[in-house]
Structure 1
Amino acid sequence: MLLLFEVEQQNGIDDLRLAMLQAQLARFPASGHVLHFIDWAKIELTKDTLGRYILANPAALTGPTLWGLPVVATEAPAFQGKFLTGAFNAAAQLFDREDANVVISTENADDFEKNMISIRCEERLALQ
């Protein structure tokens, strides 16, 4: 990434802001971030010198955001230690190959005898 200036004590939060700047300079303003669950937790748990959380308010019920953009946490191993910032609203497309499918059953092995219910939910999507 080409930097026009130096950032003191650069960290992951700075990296995401600089990625937003890079998208803006390419004339595609970012509309969101994608990070691994672990990396997002590290950012949320960042504290100042007095032990106060910089970003997260553990009592808040708001959705995850950073620099005013939504953050989507993923468990995809390829994202650990990496991130994706982009103009998803202008340059991404979601393909819904199959509607959501929910199957409920009590006939799995011994579920009936144990008074249990098995639930399977699935949907086939692709992001391009």
Structure 2
Amino acid sequence: MDVLIHAVVGLHIVGIAALLGGFLTQMKAMGQGTARMTPAMLHGALTMLVTGVALVGLHQTQGDTINTIKIGVKLALLVVILGLVYVKRDEEKVESAALGTVGALTAANIFIAVLWV
């Protein structure tokens, strides 16, 4: 079971990397006003959602204690990220504020995962 959990954690990190990487590739375009939400950002956010839910389920089946407040905060941030990316995914240009919000919330999600014990 530990191997499965570690594999899902690896996939969760791949999702985070796709979301954050998609944002970082658009930073120069954001300064020029031509930024857009990339498919990698949507796929990364969806990967994070699916693997995050799977991780909670896997830990619950092992009887581990789960910090439900932390998971709830992370889920709320991810829902906002997903909403922004999904709604703006077909636009040729998105506002810098929308893209910046996605980047900031993604960074916040990472710091919550790492620093909140």
TM value normalised by structure 1: 0.29
RCO comparison, higher one (Cα < 8 Å, 6+): 2
TM value normalised by structure 2: 0.31
Between Structure 1 and Structure 2, the one with more helix by share is: 2
Higher Rg: 1
